[in-house]
Structure 1
Amino acid sequence: MDYTQLGSLAVFAFVTTFTPGPNNIMLMTSGANVRFVRTIPHMLGIVIGFSLMLLLVGVGVTELFQHYPILHQSLQIICMAYLIYLACKIALSHSSNSNSQYQPMSFLSAVLFQWVNPKGWSMALTAISLFNQYASWLQLTLIALVFALMNVPSVSVWTAAGKQLSFWMNHPRYIRWFNAGMAILLLASVLPMLIGN
């Protein structure tokens, strides 16, 4: 991969990790409900989990889907069902100053969530098909590393944005409205990817 391709990969990774999607909306929700520090395991789970997913997708999951399309269709159904469940949990949670009912996603849950995230699948499949022309381990590792580096500022900004919003939402009713809005956005963020398939 030459410098031009590396630059293109960096821009692609930057744009795709910063645009709204399930990961970013959940980070913003977590930042607003439980602040930045308690969201760090979730943030690290996204960074490491998505990079690991890229590596595994690059070494054969895409080929498996080509041979068995029913697996891909089944995964889409599981993805949507899980996102509906998460949206319901977010919409029904509320925060108070003394004791928050909102539970941030754990590191392991965030790592595993990448496998049921439609935007994550779209990003991974596109990145592998565009930037791993020679199907080499070196290129694959470089792609995963670039995405990890771009994910760090992305997860930090979205969580910090949620934390800043929390200062405007001291009343429990506002937090409920915010969580309901984030739940709707979470579902809306994956509709374009599902409609496109």
Structure 2
Amino acid sequence: MTTETVLALMSFALVMSITPGPANFLLLASGANFGIFRTLPLLFGVSFGFLFMVFLVGLGLGGLLTQYPAIHTVLRIACGAYILWLAYKIGRSRSLGKGEDGMAKPLGFLQAALLQWVNPKAWTVALIVNVSYAFPGAVLPGLLKMIPLFAVVNLPSIGVWALSGSALRGYLSGSGRLAVFNVIMALLLVLSTIPMLLNA
């Protein structure tokens, strides 16, 4: 892999990882409601779920998606339903770190990893990475080079969202502020999904 390819891949990873999307809004909301340490399983799960998806797409799962477009439809419906449910739970949360009237605890590692499998943005990026940066004739070695490079950029980039949410905890502890914040996060979560669902 040339230096130019490495820099291009890492630049792409930065842009795709740090821009708004369902997973990043969840990290922001979780950081604000539960703090950074309780959000770490969500953070690592989001990153692992996506990188594992890149790996499987590179091994041939992308071809199945092309061959069977109905899979996209199923994913879009599943994503929409799951995001709406998460948005509803977040929008009802009123207590920092408790969430007894909304989310009782942050999403765990496995839930976060599985979320990526119904996230249209994650599928799109995984396909682009494999089409743009794959090694023809050396798929597995290429993936084993690409994925660590992407991870080095991806994890801190999405971590910024969780840290930003955690930094807001002091401000949000004021009367009524958390309720407003969570409703805004719920709306952003839904709005960030709509364009991807319509264009998936």
Q: Structure 2 length as normaliser, TM-score?
A: 0.92
**1:196 CA displacement:** 2.4
1:114 equivalent to 2:91? Answer no
5+ residue gaps, structure 2: none
Instruction: Quote the residue 1:124 is aligned against.
Output: 126
Q: Is the 8 A contact 1:94 1:172 kept in 2?
A: no
Amino acid corresponding to residue 90 of structure 1 in structure 2: I
Q: CA deviation at 1:158?
A: 0.8
Q: Helix, strand or coil for the counterpart of 1:168?
A: helix
The 3-state SS of whatever aligns with 2:78 is helix
Distance 1:194 1:181, change over 3 A: same
Superposition map of 1:8-87 within 5 A:
8-87=8-87
Give the partner amino acid of 2:32: A
The residue type equivalent to 2:133 in the other structure is F
Percent identity between the aligned chains? 38
What's the CA shift for 1:192?
2.5
**Structure-2 change in CA distance of 1:100 and 1:193 (3 Å):** closer
Give 1:155 shift: 2.7
Structure 1 runs not aligned, ≥5 long? none
Alignment partner, residue 6 of structure 1: 6
Query: What is the CA distance between 1:33 and its match in structure 2?
Result: 0.4
Kept after mapping to 1: 8 A contact 2:31/2:166:
yes
Q: TM-score, normalised by structure 1?
A: 0.93
Q: Against the structure 1 CA distance between its residues 172 and 151, is the aligned structure 2 distance closer, same or farther, given a 3 Å change threshold?
A: farther
- Deviation track 1:33-87 (CA, whole Å, cap 9, x = no partner) reads 0111111111111122211111011112111112211112111111111111111
Q: Alpha-carbon deviation of 1:128?
A: 1.0
Distance 2:24 2:37 in 1: 16
Shift of 1:133: 4.4
Shift of 1:180: 0.7
Counterpart-to-counterpart distance in 1, 2:81 and 2:13? 27
Kindly tell me: are residues 111 and 183 of structure 1, through their superposed partners in 2, closer, same or farther at Cα, counting changes over 3 Å? same
Cα distance in 2 for residues equivalent to 1:9 and 1:162? 28
C-alpha displacement of 1:156: 2.1
Which amino acid letter does the alignment assign opposite residue 146 of structure 1? L
